[in-house]
Amino acid sequence: MSKIVALDKPGKRVLLMGNEAIARGAIEAGIHYATSYPGTPSSEIMGTLCKVAKELEFHAEWSTNEKVAFEGAAAASFAGLRAITSMKNVGLNWASDMLLTINLSGSNGGLVIISADDPGGHSSTNEQDNRVYGKFAEVPTMEPSSQQEAKDMVKFAFELSELVKLPVLIRGTTRLTHSRGDVVLGEIEKIRRKPKFEGPFSSFPSSPGKHNVLHEKVEKAKEILEKSEFNTYEGNGDEEFIIITSGTGYSYTKEVFATLGLEKVGILKLGTLFPLPEDLIKKHLSHAKKVLFVEEVDPYLEDDIRSIAVDLEKDKIPDKFYGKKTGHIPSVHELTPDIILNAIAKIEGIEYQARDPEYVSKTKKGLQIVPPRTLTLCPGCPHRASFYAVKMAIRKNKSGFCTGDIGCYTLGVLPPFKINSTVHCMGAGVGLGVGFGQIEDLENGPVIAFAGDGTFYHACVPAIINAVYNQSPAKIMVLDNMITAMTGLQPHPGTGKTAVGDLTTEIKIEDICKGVGVKDIRIIDPFNVKEAIKVIYDAMNTPELTVIISRHMCTLEETKLKKMRGERFKEFQVDLDKCTGCKICTEQFSCPALVWLEDEEKVKIDDILCVGCAVCADVCPYRAIGEVVY
């Protein structure tokens, strides 16, 4: 795919994922600088760009977190270069300090921010709608409705940014960023600029005194966006029922139109969300009697356009608005064509049966024979061994609880471990753990605070410094699987490799902890279960701050390396004569490679799933699991 996004063949039609289309738009705009922190559903943007960065001669990096990613891109913009920074929805929270000051300082070279939102929270702890950030920061904000539009919109956004000297925010959503569609490639601009920064007396310091200048820039952006090709109306221009929509809502609406064969209903698609094209909106509100708003997640368009309608002459204000406020469109989670279809049918009094009435009941009966499935850690995942060891140590100690965080190890909230009592945001597991550690006589203590290795570099260091400085006796456990695993095996500062594959300094977790004053640092291999339990139990009963680094390579990365080296995987089997059917391995350790045989009431190992980690052999109290010796 990297070869396709780098093709300089204008007019060629290719199939691209939404994130790849965004990357292609940046390439066509002639970017000089690209930054990101991995986070679903945005990761493939940088994943695509870093593979072609050397070939196309631009800088690409996985940054330590979204804030420094934004700041790096801003520096490139200040020097007159075109830069893009991409992140998932909650990543923009980290970068918001910079966003809410760079709007006042302004930018120079084109600066584009991609926020990949996650309606429904498929891989997030919330489903925040980042369109409000654009309005809050008063920076131009756009939302594509297709892969083609995503590519074209990004390219245009660089031009707009340079015209108004402000960053441009583009909102994607999971269904757009992770689905594929036809994209016609455009020309790759060969922009070669000599970077230059004017120094401390330039226009870039942020100041409240520049708020009026920001408003002037917004007015300029409004003039440009009023005529934008990303805002379209479909209809004759006299329809009494119109649908106002954006993003994936537009694609679903078009699908519904094809299903119902609707006539005399207009569609106003808005690709520019701040500042809104008020003249265009007023023009079509004036001929409408009924308006339905179709958008994900918040009633962003609904609220603002209702306000715009107030300025119309009384006889031109629509009689009725429908949307989230009226319950026609849900105010949570993703949209579907059925949701929109049912809303239109209800408004228009159309009788429509989307499916056979017996469909749902038939499906429920069918599901009864399908085994229930839940999210789970991979076979051989070192986090499973870490969780098991912690749970055994807590059981031995007869008290204790854990604070969790964001990453593969978030799955610790689920059965069989149910070990994470909190999951909030990057680094919060350690921050909360440090706080709990300061509470004297905590009845169900001590607390063990989990952090992943990627999260450690991203957000945990300040909390650890706080623990040292304020003498918190917290127990911090860094689950170091030597890669940013959950978002696609991206490198981080501890891997010794950059986004483009160059070797760099390997920054060790223990060196950072030692450098900020942590005195008790313990390193374990979670696959050595007995030793891990012993170390964790001892740390729980130590009166001072302790950092345990549970280190073993991610099984996906380890398996890949073994295959590259031609190494043989260890094979294990269950001695059915020794197996008592106690289910400790399947229910308490719960590796997917361990299969319960219902008829025999025994366990067997699925050779296809097993990676030979050998932990189950240690977990089995009856020594019924052993290595196959040839």
CATH code, domain with 141 = 3.40.50.970
Please tell me the distance from the alpha carbon of residue 368 to that of residue 103, in angstroms, as a whole number.
Answer: 55
The answer to the question of residue 376 being in a domain is no
Same domain, 403 and 543: yes
Question: What average pLDDT does the segment 569-576 reach?
Answer: 89
Kind of pairing, strands 168-173 and 111-117? parallel
pLDDT > 90? residue 630? no
What pLDDT was estimated at residue 1?
58
pLDDT category at 499 given cuts 50, 70, 90 is: very high
pLDDT for residue 431 = 93
Domain-located, residue 27: yes
Is 465 in the same domain as 575?
Answer: no
Token pair of 591 as six digits: 């590796």
In whole angstroms, what is the distance from residue 499 CA to residue 193 CA?
24
Beta-carbon contacts of residue 35 (< 8 Å; ≥ 6 apart)? 46, 60, 61, 63, 69, 70, 72, 73, 83, 84, 85, 86
Tens-place pLDDT, residues 378-412: 898 999 999 999 999 999 999 999 999 888 888 88
Residue of 499, 482, 457 lying closest to 47 (CA atoms): 499
Residues 259, 402 share a domain:
no
Q: Which two tokens stand for residue 544?
A: 């001072």
Same domain, 445 and 413: yes
- Does 576 lie in the same domain as 554? no
Mean pLDDT score of the chain: 91
Residue-wise pLDDT for 5-17, tens only, equals 999 999 999 999 9
Residue 246 belongs to domain with CATH number: 3.40.50.920
Confidence of residue 416 (pLDDT cuts 50, 70, 90): confident
CATH number of the domain to which 609 belongs: 3.30.70.20
Q: How many domains does the chain have?
A: 4
Rg (CA), the chain: 27
Q: Would you state the pLDDT for residue 200?
A: 54
**Helix/strand/coil for 500:** coil
User: Looking at the predicted structure, is the pLDDT value of residue 353 above 80?
Assistant: no
**What is the domain extent for residue 47?**
2-193+211-225
Which runs of consecutive H residues, i.e. helices, occur in 79-109? 91-105
Confidence of residue 262 (pLDDT cuts 50, 70, 90): confident
Coil, strand or helix: which one is 228?
coil
In the prediction, which pLDDT does 441 show? 81
Taking only the tens place, the pLDDT of each residue in 573-618 is 999 999 999 999 988 898 999 999 988 899 999 988 999 999 999 9
pLDDT (0 to 100) of residue 350? 82
At 165-185, the pLDDT tens digits run 999 999 999 999 999 999 999
Give me the pLDDT at residue 292, please: 97
SS3 362: helix
Q: What's residue 132's pLDDT?
A: 95
- pLDDT tens profile 182-223: 999 999 998 889 998 876 556 677 778 889 999 999 999 999
Q: What is the DSSP letter of 11?
A: T
Q: Are 575 and 600 in contact (CB under 8 A)?
A: no
Does residue 557 sit in the same domain as residue 596? no
| pLDDT per residue as tens digits for the range 129-148 | 999 999 999 999 999 999 99
